[in-house]
Amino acid sequence: MKRNYFIAAIATLVMASCGNTQQKEDYSWIKTSLNRSASQLLLTAHEIDGTGKLPRSIHVGYDMDFLIRQLERDTATFVDSLRKKPAPEMDGKRRLCSVYDWTSGFYPGSLWYAYELTGNKELETEAAKYTNLLNPVRYYKGTHDLGFMINCSYGNARRLAYADTIDAVMVETADNLIGRFNDSISCIRSWDFGTWNFPVIIDNMMNLDLLFTVSKMTGDAKYKEIALKHADKTMANHFRPDYTCWHVVSYNNDGTVERKQTHQGKNDDSSWARGQAWAVYGYTSCYRETGDKKYLDFAVNVADMIMDRVKTEDAIPYWDYDAPVTEETPRDASAAAVTASALIEMSTMVEDGQKYFDYAEKILKSLSSDAYLAKEGDNQGFILMHSTGSLPNGSEIDVPLNYADYYYLEALQRYMKLKGIEYKNL
């Protein structure tokens, strides 16, 4: 056995020696991305200081004829207050949100990631300040998105700048999240609006990481057990034979399916781009936390579907895989960023991981190009351009989104960690 270890060590040294003779890989794109990201985040921090709010997107209007062309319908069917055009003086300006908005945790989380990647202490100061704004969320029970809100903010704060007050916030929030779990249905309820009996959206897979984190923090298995029951029920009912997923599945009180549809995709049978990204990310996380191969196998099948269905040259998907492909069809950089982050993690879990890593790297390089990465001082302080929030509802179409920025930076963090890249050496 010792001889085998010795041989392996020699082989590693030989490979390292050979690598030194090769041309050093150019990572200047990473340095540019991190510098721009830090600049944009700090610009925003200074400009919104004192508002008590957080950056979400940019105010834009919509064109009904464009929506109808994208939806390929005679009329658009959804009626939503978000379709209201912004006041003329707000058009193109930064859109802020309250701490109770489902996206509130992403900006503090982006600050934490940028601090981790660059070591810039000003980013740490701002990250702590904007994370603390979310303290009241610990008492909030009105959403399933508590994982997004608290795990992305306080969760990263706990990892990078631990304070003994953080744990209580995360535990209280996790308690509120599992309070939305229904034993008969075996799922965490998503929305409290609409005509659904018990709606569950694929996005909810992303909120399970809070439960995994708190289960490890407290040693209490109940959080993890509820997360996995939710994941299993979602796996059973949210997916088609080709591993694309519905956006919304609503359940009857006995746990049977009431209906399957979309709220943000092209139609009920289409494949909404960000929904597919939520899916591959969520089941990759489930495997990380359990080691149960059924989750990894499922995540791999979803990843393979994504890589097959996304036909764009730069690997940044259109807002829905089934959207008509025209010059006006918007992309969704947020879906791409989530996918890249998930596939980088997945690449470390499977034997043929290189193909997933290479695909994620392609996405990251595309997002880091001038086609998607905003110039310093532009884009109302956001990092990435060209995301789509909810096209059928006329909301946040071809704009920056705070969660696109968050998962982009998370993907960069995972990429750099895996490659052994440090900012100071770039």
Active site residues: 145, 203
- Which residue is listed with tokens 């509820």? 226
The pair of three-digit structure tokens given for residue 198, joined into one six-digit string: 């018990």
Contact 309, 325 (CB under 8 A): no
Separation of alpha carbons 257 and 255, rounded Å: 7
Q: Quick one: which of 310, 279, 312, 318 has its CA closest to 295?
A: 279
Separation of alpha carbons 319 and 312, rounded Å: 12
Count of CB atoms within 10 A of residue 39's CB? 17
Environment class of residue 168 by beta-carbon count within 10 Å: exposed (0-12), middle (13-18) or buried (19+)?
Answer: exposed
Q: Quick one: which of 156, 171, 149 has its CA closest to 218?
A: 171
Identify each DSSP E strand in 124-195 by its residue range. Answer: 181-182, 187-188
Identity of the residue numbered 168? A
Identity of the residue numbered 419? K
Identity of the residue numbered 65? D
Separation of alpha carbons 84 and 80, rounded Å: 8
- CA distances for 229 relative to 282, 340, 395, angstroms: 13, 26, 32
Separation of alpha carbons 144 and 247, rounded Å: 15
113 CA to centre of own chain: 13
Q: Quick one: which of 278, 269, 277, 262 has its CA closest to 392?
A: 262
* DSSP-assigned letter for residue 374: P
Separation of alpha carbons 247 and 278, rounded Å: 10
